[in-house]
Amino acid sequence: MIYLDYTANTPVDSEVLNKFVEVENKFIGNPNSNHQEGKKAKEELAKITENIASLLNVEPSEIIYTSGASESNNLAIKGITDISQGNHIITTKLEHSSVFAPIEELKKKGFVVDYAPLDKDGKINISQLIKLIRPDTVLIAICLVDGELGIIQPINKIAEEIKKVSDCKIHIDGTQALGKIKIDFKNIDTMSFSAHKIYGLNGSGILFKRGHLKLNPQISGGMSSSLYRSGTPTLSLNSAFYVAVKKAIENQDKRFSDVLEKNKNLREFFKQFPKVKINSPQNAVPHIINLSVEGIKGSVFQRKLDSYGVCVSVKSACSSDGLPSRAVTALGNSERTALSSWRISLSHLTTWEEIEQFKEIFVKLV
Ligand code: PMP
């Protein structure tokens, strides 16, 4: 088996898993309970939250634990728009379905949505984005790194320009950026993350929420340690998340250059095939290579690769609906190219042997 789908899910790191088991065994109390075991769990949760905040360079009170980035994106988008005066949103065509879908729902409730124009390399055209801002714009939602093409958006430059002309809120989907590139929260109001993209456990994520920003909670009732997200805090998952983020950030540069070498090698390899078009811009994160093999549907190629034991994705794992990729189309590609697109995603765990085996299989199939 050659696993080349690390953008969809990463295997859990053993230290992360050990931490989860250790904390599950050690802390039996509910952090909201007012007895010794409860207090012990509450203290540990506060310590873990402080540690995560310090790694991300934010305040502990700015961290909301969630079940993953889909929940974080929904909480930010709905939580902000529920209580804002105004009904205009700006986003991009590169967003994950957990950003795209809640915004589509808001359209049905009367919100007007504009999509920020993209330059040839997929980066947002900042001056054109600024022109779209209206007095009733309440939210601008952008992914820092998109999951299909790996384009990196200059979010801090964008946010700085937005804040000069509007006090609308800026939500960033940081899911595919964490552990890959440096993240700066300056001028950002909310940002989503997920553990299972950084060798953490599935079903665990966070939403960064700037200081006093108010959100309308999306879960009612239940014991809560946060005003914004009810439910008994999951100390073990949160502790495991801390270990995953710590390792991801500490090893970020080393892992990045390792993946970059493999990316360069594959891009060089693909050059010999006139029918192969690389859709990910050169300056995308090296972890993602989106490509189209002319005349062959992405889903067909993916299934063929799967039959040889190679795991890749068509679009993101969360939107396998057979329609042409929105993100690939947004870069000015034809519907044919978008329908042919599929994605390889690499990791520092990808071996050179796997790369060579993949190449052999690719040659055979093409
Ligand atoms: N945003 C992006 C960019 C993603 O790639 C994903 C996962 N495919 C998500 C959000 C959703 O994350 P989760 O699976 O943690 O809900």
Distance CA 361, CA 366 (A): 9
The Å distance, Cα 96 to ligand 1 centre, comes to 7
Task: Answer whether 200's CB lies under 8 Å from 13's CB.
Answer: yes
Check 143, 168, 311, 318 and give the catalytic one: 318
To test the ligand 1 pocket, which listed residue (71, 151, 194, 237) has its Cβ within 8 A of the most ligand atoms? 194
The Å distance, Cα 97 to ligand 1 centre, comes to 8
Domains of the chain: 2-10+252-365 (3.90.1150.10), 14-250 (3.40.640.10)
How would you classify the pairing of strands 137-143 and 169-173? Answer: parallel
For the stretch 40-70, pLDDT in tens is 999 999 999 999 999 999 999 999 999 999 9
173 φ/ψ angles, rounded to the nearest 5 degrees: -90, 105
pTM: 0.97
Specify whether 143 is catalytic: no
The DSSP symbol for 28 reads -
For the stretch 135-187, pLDDT in tens is 999 999 999 999 999 999 999 999 999 999 999 999 999 999 999 999 999 99
Residue 316 has pLDDT above 90, yes or no: no
Residue 88 has pLDDT above 60, yes or no: yes
